[in-house]
Every structure is written in C-alpha cells, then in structure tokens.
Structure 1
Amino acid sequence: MRIIFMGTPFYAKAILDKIIDTPNMEVVAIYTQPDKPVGRKKIMTPPVVKTLAQRHNIEVYQPQRLRDKEVVEKLLSIECDFIVVAAYGQILPCEVLEHAPCINLHASILPAYRGASPIQQTLLNADKKTGVTAMLMDEGLDTGDILKIETISVEDNEMAESLFDRLTEVATVLTIDVLKNFDSLKVIKQDETKATYCKKITKEDGKVEFVDAKEIYNKYRAFTPWPGVYLDSGLKLKNISLEDVTSTNKEGSIISIEKDSIVVGCKQGSIRVFRVQPASKKEMDILSYINGQRLFREDTLS
C-alpha cells in the first residue's frame, strides 16, 4: 500500500509514525508546511513531520502553495493508493483529490466543529463527548463523506493538552483501521443541518473578564498553554479552578485569601486562583502577587 502523507504538527507526526511502523504500508512522499522562524532568535525550524520523514529517508515536499501548477504536477507524478491528511494547513486542489482517495482525520465528531480549532471548541462548550472522524475529503471545509468515527468521553476538568494527546492516540489507531478496511467501509454523508464551525484561535481570544466563572474556566481549559487566559491589565491566570457557578458577586472581588490560593468573585460564580504571571514578569504564586500589590479581601484582582 503506497501512501502520500500530508501533515505538519505533533498530531500529524503521531499518525505518520504509526503508518511508517505498520507492515505493508509504504509512505512514498510527505507534504508539510515550510520551515518557520521560531523563538526570539528566529531560528529556522522544520515541522516535526519533516524531521520524522528525514529520519526514515522519505522524500519531503514543502510548497508554499499546494495549488501551484508545478507543485500539483509533481504530486500527480507520484503513484499512490491513498493520500492521508492530518492537520496539513493547506487546501487540496481538485486534481489532488482525484489522484487517490484522500482521507482526513479531523478531531471532532463531524459535522460538529468543522474548521481549525475543534479541540478548543469542545472544551469551550464543556462537551461531555468528542472524537475523531475519518472522512473522504472533498473541496469543502471538512464536508466530506464520513468513513468512521471513534468517540471518547471528556472529563469536567480536562485540559486541552490532555484531550489533544488522547485524541491523537485515537487518530493513530483509526487511521490504520480505515486504511486496512477501506473497501469494506460504508460511507455516510454529513448532515448539513447539524454543521457547526470553529475558527482559528488568536491571542485576543484569551482575554477574560470576571463575568461568568464557568466561561473563564472553560477558556482556561481550552487556551492553556496558548494563548492562555489573561485580564485587561495583562495579568495571566496560570493555574485556576472553578469554585462555584451560582453565586453572585462583585466582578473581580477577592472573596477569600487562603493558604495557597484566593477565591475571586464573578458576576456569576467564582474561581479559585493559585498562580499568576504579571505582564513581562515571571510566573508566581497568587499570595506573592497580592502581597506585592497590597491587595486584601474585598479588593479587586486586576
């Protein structure tokens, strides 16, 4: 079985690693995003998928635009049985979609959460269940026919990194299952009336106000480690928990100061804060912060 693989981040790397290790599956080419400058020194860094490919001596292609004529022509010259796509980051043109069955692994139960941030959206909405959908790609955004779905439960306090890791493991197993049993799978069209979308996360999405404690906590779950959750002052809430969802309080008021944390009131509910990071400073425990700011009970955290 000859496979062209397209993907870029760790999610894709785990799937690619599984394919490489599976007998009778040969990855004949890998498409990933171009190297990017990383860190303050802007050091050009390859995607993790590229690093894995080079370790196994697999040909790597990193086009700026997959739609460019010469890029498409080169891809079409590579014989394959399947094209597997996992968080690649580019739209596949019609010619590529017609070259071989294109299988995409999307981290949601489609048609829910089509788009760039399904894991974060699951946590923002406090869903109790999510999963990975293997689908046949078409020209739309995550609109292709469903091949198979695997679901998992989501814990009330689950964080994005944990959920990401668990869904990645589901995706690796599902990929091999679908490739091996492709001919016997019954495809199902997506129900367009149930389709929802999620956008690319930006730094601005992490800004919070002390209005709804549950919303703040779900943003914390979804946006840790990036972009994190922070106040208008730039103070980042680095470690928090949900205290209650029903009380009514003055927004941002310090309700209690305890041994290792403080409880902060929201218009609805309250949160417990353990650690923070002031703008342009190092992370610290909340008691050190409020002592430095001379904040006391009934003062406003800002």
Structure 2
Amino acid sequence: MNIVFMGTPDYANTIFKRLIKEDGINVTSVYTQPDKPVGRKKVMTPPPVKVTANEEGINCFQPITLKEKEIVDRIKNENPDFIIVAAYGQILPKSILDIAPCINLHASLLPKYRGASPIQQALLNGDKITGVTAMLMEEGLDSGPILSWNVTKIETNDRKVTLFNRLADMAADLTTLTLKNFSKISPLKQSSADANYCKKIRKSDGLVTFEFSSERIYNTFRAYEGWPGIYLESGLKLLDISLVDDEGKAGTIVRIDDDGVVVACITGAIKIHMVQPPSKKGMDSLSYIRGKRLGVEDIFI
C-alpha cells in the first residue's frame, strides 16, 4: 500500500515513524511545513517530520501551498492508495482530496474540538477524557466522516506534553488499524451541532490573575506548558505550580512551605514552585520572595 504522508510536529512524527516500520506500507513522499527560526538566535530549524524523512531517505517537500498544479500532479503520479494527514498545518484543497482517500488523525474525540488546539482546549476545560479520531477528510475543517477512534483518561497531573505524547502513540496505533481495515469500515457522519472550534493560541492567552479560580489557573498552566506558558500582569512567569487545599484573600501569600509558596486565588489556592522574573533566569519561589522581602499575608507580585 502506497502512502503520501503530510504532517509537521512531534505528534505527526510519531505517526510517521510507525508507518515507516509497518509491513505492507510504503511511504512514497512526505509533505511538511517550511523550516522556521527557533530560539533567541532564530536558528532555521526543520520540523521533526522532515528530519525523519531525511534520515530514512524519503522524498520530503515543504510547499507554502498545496494548490499549485505541479504539486497536485506530482502526488497523482505517485498513485497513492491513501494520503495520511496529522497536524500538517494547511487545509488540503479539493484537487488533493480527490486523488485518494485522505485520512486525518485528529487529537480529540470529534466533533467536540475541531481546529488547531484540541489538546490544549481539553486541558483548559478540565475534561476528564479525550482521545484521537481517524477522519475521512472533506473540504470542511475537521468535519468529515469518522472512521475510528480511541479514548483515554486525562489525569490531574497530565500536562500538554504528556498528553501530546500519549495521544500521538494512540494515533499511530489507530492509523495502522484504520488502514488495514479501511474496506470494512462504514464512515460515521459527524453532528455539526455538537462541534466546537479551537482557536489558534496566542502569547496573550497565557496571562493569568489570582482573581481566577485556582482550577482555572492550573488548567491554563497545564494547557500552555512550554509556550506560551502562564504569567502575571507584572510579567512574572509561573514555571511550575500545583493545586492545594487552602483559602484566603485573592493574591495573598497564605503559607510558605519548603517546596513552594501558597497563594490564594478567588477560590482555592495554588502552590508556586518555580518562577521567572522578566529578563531573568528561572528560580525557585522561595528565593524569589526572599529577594522581594515578601511574607505571609503579603500580596504575591
């Protein structure tokens, strides 16, 4: 079976690596997003899928758009049995969708979270379960018929990275299962009435205040681990926090423990373990409050 693969980040790369190893599957080419500048020095960095493709000697293309006739003709000439898509970052035009069945591995239980950030949205909402869906693609955004799915619990200590990794492994399993059983599957039409659309995440989404509930702050921290992270109006980043059973006036230091500073929220409290002041390196919260000469009942800023 010949496969054209389209994907970009680590989530897609996990699926791509599984397809490469699978007997009876031949990945003829890969499409991924262009290299991007990364870090303070803006070093041009290839996406994970490109790195793997180069290591495996598989033709890799990074077009800005898939609408060009040359690209459509190239994919047609490969005569793929399927086109597998996972977090590619572009909407496929009808000219590509018409070449072969296009299967998207979406990191949510469709139709609940369509769009760009389903894993983050599940964490933000404090969901207890999530999963991956194999979907037959159409011109709409994540609206095509469902082919198969798998479910997992979201644990209280799950963060974005752990959930991404678990869902990526599940999606890799689901991809091979769906391909091997495709002729036996009766696609299930989605209910658009139950659909929610996830927005593209911006840096400003990481702003939190102690006027939020402790659960809201913690869920935002879990969802935005890494980037954009969470930060206060002052610009202080909260690098590591946990939920605790305390109460007090929102924004005040309730307790100082050996492993962190407990700060009250509008409801509940969080324990802050690590922080990063603007333009400085990360530090433990105890060192931070000592430098600021803050104590119990003071406002944490």
Q: Which residue of 1 aligns with 2:220?
A: 219
Q: Which residue of 2 aligns with 1:242?
A: 243
1:250 is displaced (CA, Å) by 2.2
Aligned-residue RMSD, C-alpha: 1.1
Q: Is the 8 A contact 1:236 1:277 kept in 2?
A: yes
Give the whole-Å Cα distance in 2 for the aligned partners of 1:261 and 1:51. 40
Q: Which residue of 1 aligns with 2:197?
A: 197
Give the whole-Å Cα distance in 1 for the aligned partners of 2:67 and 2:94. 9
Query: Structure 2 counterpart of 1:283, which letter?
Result: G
Any stretches of 5+ residues in structure 2 without a counterpart? Answer: none
Q: Which residue of 2 aligns with 1:114?
A: 114
Q: Which residue of 1 aligns with 2:102?
A: 102
Q: Deviation digits for residues 36-77 of structure 1, max 9, x if unmatched?
A: 222233222211111111111111111011122332232222
The number of residues matched between the two structures is: 300
Q: Which residue of 2 aligns with 1:128?
A: 128
Q: Is the 8 A contact 1:213 1:244 kept in 2?
A: no
Residue pairs, 1:263-278, within 5 angstroms = 263-278=262-277
Q: Which residue of 2 aligns with 1:210?
A: 210
Give the whole-Å Cα distance in 2 for the aligned partners of 1:277 and 1:42. 22
Give the whole-Å Cα distance in 2 for the aligned partners of 1:256 and 1:39. 36
Local SS of the residue matching 1:104: strand
1:87 is displaced (CA, Å) by 0.4
Query: Structure 1 counterpart of 2:105, which letter?
Result: L
1:267 is displaced (CA, Å) by 1.4
Residue pairs, 1:120-199, within 5 angstroms = 120-199=120-199
Give the whole-Å Cα distance in 2 for the aligned partners of 1:22 and 1:270. 48
Q: Does 250-259 or 292-301 show the bigger shift?
A: 250-259
Q: Which residue of 1 aligns with 2:230?
A: 229
Q: Is the 8 A contact 1:103 1:135 kept in 2?
A: yes
Q: Is the 8 A contact 2:14 2:168 kept in 1?
A: yes
Give the whole-Å Cα distance in 2 for the aligned partners of 1:16 and 1:140. 24
Residue pairs, 1:242-261, within 5 angstroms = 242-244=243-245, 247=247, 249-261=248-260
Query: Structure 2 counterpart of 1:113, which letter?
Result: Y
1:225 is displaced (CA, Å) by 1.5
Q: Which residue of 1 aligns with 2:284?
A: 285
Q: Which residue of 1 aligns with 2:8?
A: 8
Q: Does 74-83 or 215-224 show the bigger shift?
A: 74-83
Local SS of the residue matching 2:30: strand
Q: Is the 8 A contact 1:207 1:229 kept in 2?
A: yes
Q: Is the 8 A contact 1:33 1:89 kept in 2?
A: yes
Q: Is the 8 A contact 2:67 2:95 kept in 1?
A: no
Local SS of the residue matching 1:109: coil
Q: Is the 8 A contact 1:11 1:86 kept in 2?
A: yes
Q: Deviation digits for residues 191-213 of structure 1, max 9, x if unmatched?
A: 11111111111111111000211
Local SS of the residue matching 1:99: coil
Query: Structure 2 counterpart of 1:241, which letter?
Result: S
Give the TM-score taking structure 1 as reference length: 0.97
Q: Deviation digits for residues 243-292 of structure 1, max 9, x if unmatched?
A: 138x4x32210111122211101111111111111111111111100000
Local SS of the residue matching 1:239: strand
Local SS of the residue matching 2:98: helix
Local SS of the residue matching 1:27: strand
1:120 is displaced (CA, Å) by 0.6
Give the whole-Å Cα distance in 2 for the aligned partners of 1:100 and 1:235. 50
Q: Deviation digits for residues 135-185 of structure 1, max 9, x if unmatched?
A: 000001100000001001111221111111110110000000001110001
Give the whole-Å Cα distance in 2 for the aligned partners of 1:117 and 1:8. 14
Q: Deviation digits for residues 66-109 of structure 1, max 9, x if unmatched?
A: 12233223222221100000000001010110100000000000
Local SS of the residue matching 1:172: helix
Query: Structure 1 counterpart of 2:116, which letter?
Result: A
Identity %: 54
Query: Structure 2 counterpart of 1:79, which letter?
Result: N
Q: Which residue of 2 aligns with 1:21?
A: 21
Give the whole-Å Cα distance in 2 for the aligned partners of 1:68 and 1:106. 25
Q: Is the 8 A contact 1:29 1:58 kept in 2?
A: yes
Give the whole-Å Cα distance in 1 for the aligned partners of 2:293 and 2:210. 20
Q: Which residue of 1 aligns with 2:40?
A: 40
Q: Is the 8 A contact 1:102 1:136 kept in 2?
A: yes
